[in-house]
């Protein structure tokens, strides 16, 4: 798991995560946006910084099909 800090399209990002080609960006308003490459594949709402990593990992498993293996 990589941790990145950045500004995304002019929005302040509280936390960024990356795994297996997916990137998660936790916005300061509580949205966790998950991208594959440059494509938005999932948005979770009301995510705190404490739960962002778990939410991101579960999202990657869901959208990549790993959840069903």
Per-residue pLDDT reduced to its tens digit, 11-64:
788 899 999 999 999 998 999 999 999 999 999 999 999 999 999 999 999 999
Sequence-distant (6+) residues with CB within 8 A of 12 are 27, 28
- The sign one gets for the Cα dihedral 46, 40, 50, 57 is positive
3, pLDDT greater than 60: no
How high is the pLDDT of residue 6?
60
Q: At 58, phi and psi to the nearest 5? A: -65, -40
Whether the Cβ atoms of residue 2 and residue 44 lie closer than 8 Å to each other: no
- Can you tell me whether residue 11 is helix, strand or coil? strand
How high is the pLDDT of residue 69?
59
């Amino acid at each position: 798991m990589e941790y990145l800090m950045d500004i995304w399209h002019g929005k302040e990002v509280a936390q960024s995560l990356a795994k297996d080609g997916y990137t998660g960006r936790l916005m300061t308003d509580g949205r966790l946006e998950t991208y594959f490459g440059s494509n938005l594949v999932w948005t979770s709402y009301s995510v705190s910084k404490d739960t962002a990593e778990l939410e991101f990992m579960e999202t990657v498993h869901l959208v990549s099909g790993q959840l069903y293996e």
